[in-house]
């Protein structure tokens, strides 16, 4: 009887030890040295719900300097937006739409990481398979993306309305320096113009 009692005690202790082990907690992946990471739903703490005004951005971006600025989009157009700095380095442009929401965010620094993309600002482009459409801005900037995604990659490169329309033509982008990466709260479609405006980029930034 004593032996049976001992076995039951050992079994109970074993069960207790087993159930007391906590489940592993997933550790978020942090890109080394990244100031922000662009993900489908966010750029760091900036999301689609973040208002595109000075107060809201300064609240969201604690520890960063946010300044209103005229943001140049090509040689012929600029509009009011917000620049984000860290230690004197310009990291982001935040561009509002007519309603005061975020139209898009332009990442300008190599310190901005892009999740799930082989893109690094200032490095050579080699990710043709991650884009399906390209559009021009003022015949001097090429912006490319894949329909359904929230990110686009931009190059300073002469282009026209029919440039880079096919997969073969987009091969010519390989080796170009990535000028910036854009994030949009709304997913891009094949007809999207990431810089705004009318046909193949336009000049009026969507009438904003």
pLDDT bucket at 13, cuts 50 / 70 / 90: very low
Q: Provide the token pair at 158.
A: 């002469």
Pair of tokens at residue 61: 């971006």
Which superfamily is assigned to 36-207 in CATH? protein yfey like domain (2.60.460.10)
pLDDT above 70 as % of the chain: 75
Query: For position 124, what pLDDT does the model report?
Result: 96
Place of tokens 């320096």: 177
Q: Are strands 112-114 and 102-107 parallel, antiparallel or unpaired?
A: unpaired
Weakest-pLDDT range from 55-59, 83-87, 162-166, 185-189: 162-166
Q: Which residues pair with 114 in a beta bridge?
A: 38
Token code pair at residue 186: 């709304």
pLDDT at 75 (0 to 100) = 53
Quick one: tokens of 132? 């399906």
Helix (H) or strand (E) holding 10: helix 2-19
Give per-residue pLDDT as tens, 31-56: 556 799 999 999 999 999 999 999 99
- What is the β-pairing status of strands 141-145 and 46-47? unpaired
Q: Could you tell me if 171 and 194 are in contact, meaning their C-beta atoms sit under 8 angstroms apart? A: no
**Residue pair 92/84 in contact by the 8 Å Cβ criterion:** yes
**Which residues neighbour 4 within 8 Å (Cβ) at sequence distance 6 or greater?**
none
Distance, CA of 181 to CA of 25 (rounded, Å): 32
Residue 129 CA to residue 108 CA, distance in Å, equals: 22
DSSP 68-84: EEEEE-SSS-EEEEEEE
Write down the mean pLDDT value for the chain. Answer: 80
The string of pLDDT tens digits covering residues 71-88 is 776 555 567 899 999 999
- Could you report the per-residue pLDDT of 110-148, keeping only the tens digit for each? 999 999 898 999 999 998 999 999 988 767 889 999 999
* pLDDT of 25 above 70: no
Cβ proximity of 145 and 152 under 8 Å = yes
The runs of H, that is alpha helices, within 43-175 are: 54-60, 167-170
In the prediction, which pLDDT does 76 show?
53
């Amino acid at each position: 009887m004593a032996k049976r009692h001992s076995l039951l005690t050992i079994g109970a202790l074993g069960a207790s030890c087993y159930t007391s082990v906590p489940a592993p907690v997933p550790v978020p992946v942090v890109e080394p040295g990244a100031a922000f990471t662009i993900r489908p739903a966010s750029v760091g703490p900036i999301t689609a719900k973040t208002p595109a005004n000075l107060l809201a951005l300064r609240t969201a971006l604690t520890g960063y300097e946010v300044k209103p600025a005229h943001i140049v989009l090509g040689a012929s157009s600029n509009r009011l937006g917000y620049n984000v700095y860290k230690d004197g380095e310009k990291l982001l442009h935040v561009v509002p739409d007519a309603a005061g929401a975020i139209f898009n965010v332009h990442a300008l620094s190599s310190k901005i990481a892009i999740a799930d993309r082989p893109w690094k600002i200032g490095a050579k482009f080699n990710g043709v398979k991650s884009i399906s459409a390209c559009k021009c801005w003022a015949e001097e900037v090429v912006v490319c993306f894949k329909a359904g995604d929230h990110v686009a990659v931009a190059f300073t490169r002469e282009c026209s309305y029919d440039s880079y329309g096919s997969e073969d033509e987009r091969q010519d982008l390989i080796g170009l320096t990535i000028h910036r990466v854009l994030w949009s709260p709304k997913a891009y479609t094949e007809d999207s113009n990431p810089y705004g405006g009318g046909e193949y980029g336009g000049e009026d930034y969507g009438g904003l």
